[in-house]
Structure 1
Amino acid sequence: MKLRKLGTTSVGGKCPTLYETDSGDIVVQGYRLTDAEALAQLEDVLPNETFVIVPRELMVRFAPKE
C-alpha cells in the first residue's frame, strides 16, 4: 500500500496528519482516544479497530472534497 500525505496541522512533525492510500481510502494519524466515557459510547467496535481524535481544522483543510 502506498500513502500520499494530504496535509497536517501539526507543528514539528507530530500528529495529526491525513494520508490517502493508493486505493483512495483515508488514513488518519492522531492521538488515540483514551477517555473512558467516550469509549463507552462507541458501538459495534471490532477487536482490531482503534480510535483517534481528529481536529476539525485538519478535516476542513485537507480531507478530500469529493
Structure 2
Amino acid sequence: MKILIVEDEIKTGEYLSKGLTEAGFVVDHADNGLTGYHLAMTAEYDLVILDIMLPDVNGWDI
C-alpha cells in the first residue's frame, strides 16, 4: 500500500512516516501543500493523510 503524508510539522510527519514504513507501507512525505499537491497529481496513492492547515496551498485545496 502506498501512502502520501502531507504535514508541515516536521516531527509529526517524520513520526508518521517512520511508523508506517516500519509497518511495511511505502510512504511519501510532503512538508507543504504545494509539494503535496504535485505528488498527489503525479503518482497514485492508496491513502492520503492530509493536514488541513498548510502553508501556501491548504489541505482543502489539495
User: Structure 1 length normalisation: TM-score?
Assistant: 0.28
Higher helix share: 2
Q: TM-score, normalised by structure 2?
A: 0.29
| Structure with bigger gyration radius | 1
Relative to total residues, which structure has the larger strand share, 1 or 2?
1
